[in-house]
Amino acid sequence: MWPRVRRSFAAPLAPPRRTRPPGSNGDFFDRVHALVRRIPRGKVATYGQIAELLGAPRAARIVGWAMHGNPHGSRVPCHRVVQRGGSLSPNYCIGDPGRQRRLLTREGVSFCLDGRIEMARYQWAPVPPGSPRQARRR
């Protein structure tokens, strides 16, 4: 019995804790972060919209995981990603529930009386590559 116990203490330390859910594709998380960086100031996108734009329409929860484990800090504007219907994310910043709203208000996003964002006005509509609007922007 003692040799087994001694062996368990001699085992190497466990790898660092994952910031991504088990079985997730790291490339997908990188693509989520790259797409969220493209959301302009004063606009918002939903978790489902991000997932759909990445070709995985049923992966809204995975997009949430990617936003929660964002390793890039403020370079990825995670506060611009909201729930469908314009509701703010309840777990955006633990310990400061009003932070997401303050950041969006600073960018010019206004809120309805019920606390939701008017999605028809503020939802981001990305320009697809190769469209006439994309060609004019260059």
Q: How crowded is residue 20: how many other Cβ atoms within 10 Å of its Cβ?
A: 16
**Active-site hit among 76, 78, 82, 88:** 78
By residue range, what is the domain housing residue 63?
24-125
H or E, element range at 46: strand 45-46
Interatomic CA distance for residues 132 and 42, integer angstroms: 23
Domains identified in the chain, total number = 1
40 and 46 Cβ atoms separated by less than 8 Å: no
The domain that contains 119 carries what CATH number? Answer: 1.10.10.10
pLDDT in tens, 17-47: 445 555 556 789 999 999 999 999 999 999 9
Which structure tokens are listed for 112?
Answer: 């309805």
Q: Is residue 112 flagged as an active site residue? A: no
Is residue 135 a part of any domain in this protein? no
- pTM of the entire structure? 0.75
Is residue 97 a part of any domain in this protein? yes
